[in-house]
Structure 1
Amino acid sequence: MWEKRSDMVVYDVEPFNAEPPPGALLDHITPLDTFYGRNHGPIPRIDAGNWRLRVDGLVDRPLELSMDDLRHRFPQRTVVATLQCAGNRRADLMRFRDIPGQQPWGPGATSTARWSGVSLAKVLAEAGLQGHAAHIAFTGADVSQEADPPQPFGASIPTAKATSEEVLLAWAMNDQALPTAHGAPLRVVVPGWIGARSVKWLQRITAQAQPTDNYFQTGYSVLPPEADPHNTEPGEGITLGPITIHCAILQPEYGAQVPAGPTHVTGFALAGDDRTVARVDVSGDGGSTWIRADLDAPENPWTWQHWRATLTLPAGGTELVARAWDSTAAVQPESPATVWNPRGYANTSWARLYVTCHR
């Protein structure tokens, strides 16, 4: 299925939604067959030879670009960046309180790749971006039935982010041609922001004064706990953009049985936006005592950082907990109760899992 590994946890066949098991995410670069998939409509197959990218809106020189134009008219750039679904670790929120109609994503809706393409800023400069263009909107070719009426998936980001050098129009992933399942022939990659802003199967870029009115722009927002996610007013939620500091435990996995005594615990932390992870603390007794984990240095501000620690666990059931701090000294909230919301987005609470230790 879309050339993915056989042990992917598949939530939907179409639209394709799947994550790898947590233990598959220990490499700094995620293999193509392991990278998670999150979609709202059927995956389109596009003929790259006939495909064109339209750049319009508040620009002096509207463009229509082929893949050859992109490859030969602009300098190529490569950025290593982590993408993450806004619903990552939703399962932890659902253990606190159910979220009907949503997939119970674990920590695997996060992956890192080496993306290659051209800088979005260069393309916008070629088009003559006008000074009052405050937002850059993207439209993909994938059509979703979730919107009424159905519409292509779309998103927008502020111009200040769009013109940052790390934002790419990518045609390659891990030094290979971008797979169909990940947006071929061209996708946006917006490092440090939720994955929903990195629009796949890109067809159009529009410079405009306001954020896009696409259904999925405000659909990816955190609503108040009492809100009805199927009947919301404009502005009721907080529209999601930059990722907020959080971490996940990858090994051992939830519910695992492990020997009592010294136990190796590993995971990742991601700060989001242009921040880095400064510290990860780990506990083997539900948060009563903590040790500081060994933390990998960041390759850049837009990638995850893996961490590891050895805990001495007693026989019986115990709760492992991890919490992360970012370079601004922001720390994760303790309880899922503080961040629970009816769409299950942006779970930044401490990572928790239960294991049973045997002698």
Structure 2
Amino acid sequence: MGIWNKRDDMVVHEVEPYNAESPPQALAGRITPVDTFYGRNHAPIPQLDAENWRLRVEGLVGRPLEMSMDELRDRFPERSVVATLQCAGNRRADLMEVSDIPGQVPWGPGAISTARWSGVSLADVLAEAGVRPDAAHVSFTGADVSDQAYPPQHFGGSIPMAKATSHEVLLAWSMNGQSLPAVHGAPLRVVVPGWIGARSVKWLLRIGVQAGPSDNYFQTEYSILPPEADPHTAERGEGITLGPVAIHCAILRPGKDARLPAGPTEVAGFAYAGDDRTVERVDVSADDGDTWTHAKVDLPESPWTWQHWHTTLDLPSGDTELIARAWDSTAAVQPESPATVWNPRGYANNAAARLHVTCRS
């Protein structure tokens, strides 16, 4: 096994902090094994003592709470959700081919994974604390301390109250039926289905109920800036703060730059609509978009997961660029080119997927 008990073929971009994506061929299943699930971190992974750990719930509540793990388990019913998590920087490498994005992790398509999460409903915990009428946002603070912020601060972020009180948002202690491992946020993490992974704060220490969004550095660092902006001098609030994931897809099979026999070839991948939307259609082309084939799209495991798709194309001899684009249940479709969505932090690339192959007769 590799670092943090991950499979040996994880694509490791950084060891400290640990940043690694799943190899594309390992993402074909509905549920991603724990040893294959991607890792995104801004600081060293903290090792917390579950016996002494406490969760605080405070802010605009009638009854502030402080609970141990045993108290959390005893006071609230256990719930589960199958949900896909995706880093906001997934597929940044495609944007880097348009123009360089210094200082950012060059993620391919593998900073996305799906697991069955178990724990307690955040809504249940908030109800116990008694949310005040003037509360509009819920913030999360993790134990990891990042020097990406100046001065260094705990990683954190927030979500609006409407999302926080939705039944699918969990405080999770289990992943695929196993105790949550340290690398994924033990003893407790937030899981916010349908939203960028940065809002699913790991190593959770504090929940804050408040009138406005979090003032944590990472709340607004995860935002889309205009192409001309300098990310080092941008003012807070200058960008579009990220929340729900935009529709996108990836081609998993055949592999990038594969050499194949010409003729009928299976092309397969996944698509993810984000939030509570579903993938309604995936189109695939082998002739630069002159013609499109509608792929077969599998039903989702839950309303909060990716959907896999596949089709067969008759590929000619020579070099071919495969293109795949997905449509969601609001009729939103992926933009044609990464140049359309390029931004100086390299977030939220949802341009159509493109993959080069070479065929021989």
TM-score when normalising by structure 1: 0.99
| Aligned-pair CA distance for 1:300 | 2.2
Q: Is the 8 A contact 1:272 1:301 kept in 2?
A: no
* AA of the residue aligned to 1:93: L
Partner of 2:160: 158
CA distance in 1, matches of 2:179, 2:302: 23
* AA of the residue aligned to 1:296: D
Q: Sequence identity of aligned pairs in percent?
A: 75
Partner of 2:45: 43
CA distance in 2, matches of 1:252, 1:286: 17
Q: Is the 8 A contact 1:157 1:211 kept in 2?
A: yes
Partner of 2:65: 63
Q: Deviations over 1:231-288 (max 9, x none)?
A: 1012210000000111111111221111111111111001111110000001112222
Partner of 2:26: 24
Partner of 1:116: 118
**Secondary structure of residue in 1 paired with 2:94:** helix
Match of 1:73 among 56, 75, 88: 75
CA distance in 2, matches of 1:245, 1:210: 27
User: 4+ residue runs of structure 1 moved beyond 3 angstroms?
Assistant: none
Q: Is the 8 A contact 2:22 2:112 kept in 1?
A: no
Count residues with an aligned counterpart. Answer: 359
Q: Deviations over 1:18-73 (max 9, x none)?
A: 01110110010000000000000000000001000000000000000110011111
CA distance in 1, matches of 2:134, 2:279: 34
Q: Deviations over 1:83-105 (max 9, x none)?
A: 00000011111112221111111
CA distance in 2, matches of 1:52, 1:159: 23
CA distance in 1, matches of 2:266, 2:59: 53
Match of 1:149 among 142, 148, 151: 151
**Matching of residues 51-200 of structure 1 within 5 Å:** 51-200=53-202
CA distance in 1, matches of 2:258, 2:230: 36
Match of 1:329 among 325, 328, 331: 331
CA distance in 2, matches of 1:172, 1:343: 32
CA distance in 1, matches of 2:290, 2:15: 42
Q: Is the 8 A contact 2:30 2:301 kept in 1?
A: no
* AA of the residue aligned to 1:234: R
Matched, 1:291 2:293: yes
Q: Structure 1 unaligned segments of length 5 or more: list them.
A: none
Q: Give the alignment's Cα RMSD to 1 decimal.
A: 0.7
Q: Is the 8 A contact 2:173 2:188 kept in 1?
A: yes
* AA of the residue aligned to 1:225: P
**Matching of residues 329-348 of structure 1 within 5 Å:** 329-348=331-350
**Matching of residues 228-247 of structure 1 within 5 Å:** 228-247=230-249
CA distance in 1, matches of 2:121, 2:237: 31
* AA of the residue aligned to 2:58: D
* AA of the residue aligned to 1:141: A
CA distance in 2, matches of 1:266, 1:102: 29
Q: Is the 8 A contact 1:141 1:202 kept in 2?
A: yes
Q: Structure 2 unaligned segments of length 5 or more: list them.
A: none
Partner of 1:14: 16
CA distance in 2, matches of 1:121, 1:60: 15
Matched, 1:262 2:261: no
Partner of 1:304: 306
CA distance in 1, matches of 2:22, 2:324: 21
Match of 2:7 among 5, 9, 18: 5
| Aligned-pair CA distance for 1:299 | 2.4
* AA of the residue aligned to 2:206: R
CA distance in 2, matches of 1:288, 1:40: 43
| Aligned-pair CA distance for 1:131 | 1.3
